[in-house]
A and B are shown apart, each in its own frame.
Chain A
Amino acid sequence: AQSVAQPEDQVNVAEGNPLTVKCTYSVSGNPYLFWYVQYPNRGLQFLLKYITGDNLVKGSYGFEAEFNKSQTSFHLKKPSALVSDSALYFCAVRDIRGTYKYIFGTGTRLKVLA
Chain B
Amino acid sequence: DTEVTQTPKHLVMGMTNKKSLKCEQHMGHRAMYWYKQKAKKPPELMFVYSYEKLSINESVPSRFSPECPNSSLLNLHLHALQPEDSALYLCASSQSGTSNSPLHFGNGTRLTVT
Q: Residues of A at under 8 Å CB distance from B? A: 32, 34, 36, 41-46, 49, 51, 88, 90, 94, 98-102, 104-107, 109
Contacts and interface: CB of A to CB of B under 8 A. Distances in A.
B14 interface: no
B98 A98 contact: yes
Given A104-B42, A109-B40, A42 B108 contact: yes
Contacts, number: 62
B84 to A, nearest CB: 20
B66 interface: no
A42 B94 CA distance: 18
A63 to B, nearest CB: 14
Given A42-B108, A43-B2, A99 B97 contact: yes
B97 A100 contact: yes
B62 to A, nearest CB: 21
B108 A101 contact: no
B4 interface: yes
Contact of A101 (B6, B45, B92): B45
B18 to A, nearest CB: 25
B79 interface: no
Contact of A46 (B33, B103, B108): B103
By size class, the interface of chain B is 20 to 34
A100 B31 contact: yes
6 contacts: A36-B103, A41-B108, A43-B6, A44-B105, A99-B56, A101-B56
A107 B56 contact: no
A94 B45 CA distance: 13
B102 A41 contact: no
B4 to A, nearest CB: 7
A51 B40 contact: no
B42 A105 contact: yes
Contacts of B22: none
B100 interface: yes
A104 B105 CA distance: 14
A34 B45 CA distance: 16
Contacts of B72: none
